[in-house]
């Protein structure tokens, strides 16, 4: 270990040298490497966490750079994947940390495999569907995590210890249909930083042997309001996710091709029924026969046809930009990529 790297953090009494040693033996998984994921990851890597896994399904676009601090304009121009780019950037920041970036979407099939050996999980997702999957997986495995959300100038966060404090399902009894998203009403980066600061603090507290907060916290960094509600009493003894009689509704497997309309983006994600490795170079060859609008960077294959932009990942998962109808997206996927 390079002498003095963590000296200031060790000086902070609640952590100390003992806490610092504990941190070096811990594994944190961050789901999502967008704005919240980037901010949390950078703080944890600088803080000297032992191992960090970052899971993200997306690639970098110009409109991300305003708030997603790990990425550069060159990354956006090349449409690199967030998970792999973040891994490289974070490794350069601190070579002592074991860092792994996974280009995939966390879902009911892979969720348990991805999260079972985490000491703590940080929510860096941008949608409630994935959050409820995380909520079920971690309730089942009794692992702590911290929810975080941000929109406009507001930050919201809550630590969850399944079985001891209310889970997301206890507090929101079904999947919300979000009316507002970052795409429709916007977001400023201070709201991201505020949320991530709270999440990383909770993570550091837990991993160094300090207690987690029981409060649901909301800060409007622009309007300068702060609100905190102790939600301990809302732990639901018959909760379908975290009680003794849990059924884990979000871990029920769906079969076949899966599609999801990405809120506010005119984009449909299509995921083939069988996960497997697709040969992007073979697909690129086929695509070149019908369009010259094509870009293959080895991580993702991007091409345009019928005024729709296809972004194909190695596992076959594809984003179709310019489509808002799920059935149309399925047909386009079958036509140009296969069943």
Partner 1 sequence: MQIHVNGRQMEVVKDSTIGDLLNRVNIQEKLVVVEQNQQIINKAVYNQTTLTDGDVIEIVHFVGGG
Instruction: Give me the least distance between CB of 149 and partner 1, in Å please.
Output: 4
Sign of the CA dihedral running 11, 14, 19, 20: negative
Instruction: Give me the least distance between CB of 26 and partner 1, in Å please.
Output: 22
Position among 15, 28, 29, 36 found at the interface with partner 1 (CB under 8 A): 36
Rounded Cα distance, 18 and 207, in Å: 11
Partner interacting with residue 225 (select from partner 1, Zn ion, none; CB below 5-8 Å by kind): partner 1
240 forms part of the interface with Zn ion (CB under 5 A): no
Give me the phi and psi of 281, to 5 degrees please. Answer: -70, -35
Residue with smaller CB distance to partner 1, 91 or 236: 236
Partner interacting with residue 194 (select from partner 1, Zn ion, none; CB below 5-8 Å by kind): none
Rounded Cα distance, 208 and 53, in Å: 19
Rounded Cα distance, 84 and 94, in Å: 16
- List the interface residues with partner 1, window 225-254 (CB under 8 A): 225-229, 231, 233-234
The answer to whether 176 touches 149, Cβ cutoff 8 Å, is: no
106-135 in b/e form (b: 16+ CB < 10 A) is bbbbbbbebbeebbbbbbbbbebebbbbbb
135 forms part of the interface with Zn ion (CB under 5 A): no
Q: Which stretch binds partner 1 (CB under 8 A): 44-52, 94-102, 180-188, 282-290?
A: 180-188
**CA 214 to chain CA centroid, nearest Å:** 23
Sign of the CA dihedral running 44, 48, 52, 56: positive
Number of residues that bind partner 1 (CB under 8 A): 43
66 forms part of the interface with partner 1 (CB under 8 A): no
- List the interface residues with partner 1, window 123-142 (CB under 8 A): 123-128, 131
Position among 32, 48, 111, 316 found at the interface with partner 1 (CB under 8 A): 32
Rounded Cα distance, 236 and 338, in Å: 45
Footprint of partner 1 on this chain (CB under 8 A)?
A: 32, 34-37, 123-128, 131, 148-151, 154, 156, 171-174, 176, 178-182, 187, 195, 216-218, 220, 225-229, 231, 233-234, 263
Footprint of Zn ion on this chain (CB under 5 A)?
A: 167, 169-170, 239, 241-242
């Amino acid at each position: 270990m390079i002498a003095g790297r963590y000296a200031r953090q060790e000086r902070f009494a609640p952590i100390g040298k003992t806490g610092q040693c504990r941190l070096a033996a811990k594994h944190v998984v961050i789901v999502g490497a967008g704005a919240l994921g980037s901010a949390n990851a950078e703080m944890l890597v600088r803080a000297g966490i032992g191992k960090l896994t970052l899971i993200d399904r997306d690639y970098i676009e110009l409109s991300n750079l305003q708030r997603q601090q790990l990425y550069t304009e060159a990354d956006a121009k090349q449409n690199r994947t967030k998970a792999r780019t973040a891994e490289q950037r974070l490794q350069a920041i601190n070579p002592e940390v074991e860092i792994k970036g996974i280009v995939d979407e966390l879902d009911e099939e892979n969720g348990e495999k991805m999260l079972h050996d985490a000491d703590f999980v940080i929510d860096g997702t941008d949608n409630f569907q994935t959050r409820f999957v995380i909520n079920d997986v971690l309730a089942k495995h009794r692992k702590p995590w911290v929810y975080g959300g941000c929109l406009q100038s507001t930050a919201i966060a809550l630590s969850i210890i399944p079985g001891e404090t209310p889970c997301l399902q206890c507090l929101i009894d079904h999947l919300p249909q979000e009316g507002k998203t970052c795409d429709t009403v916007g977001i400023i980066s201070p709201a991201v930083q505020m949320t991530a600061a709270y999440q990383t603090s909770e993570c550091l507290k837990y991993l160094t042997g300090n207690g987690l907060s029981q409060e649901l916290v909301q800060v409007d960094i622009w309007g300068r309001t702060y609100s905190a509600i102790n939600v301990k009493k809302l732990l639901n003894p018959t909760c379908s996710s975290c009680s003794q009689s849990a059924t884990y509704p979000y871990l029920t497997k769906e079969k076949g091709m899966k599609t999801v309309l990405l809120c506010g983006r005119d984009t449909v994600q299509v995921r083939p029924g069988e996960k497997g490795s697709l040969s992007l170079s073979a697909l690129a060859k086929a695509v070149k026969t019908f369009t010259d609008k094509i870009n293959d960077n080895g991580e993702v294959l991007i091409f345009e046809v019928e005024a729709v932009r296809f972004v194909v990942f190695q596992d076959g998962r594809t984003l179709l930009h310019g489509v808002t109808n799920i059935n149309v997206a399925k047909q386009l996927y079958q036509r140009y990529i296969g069943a």
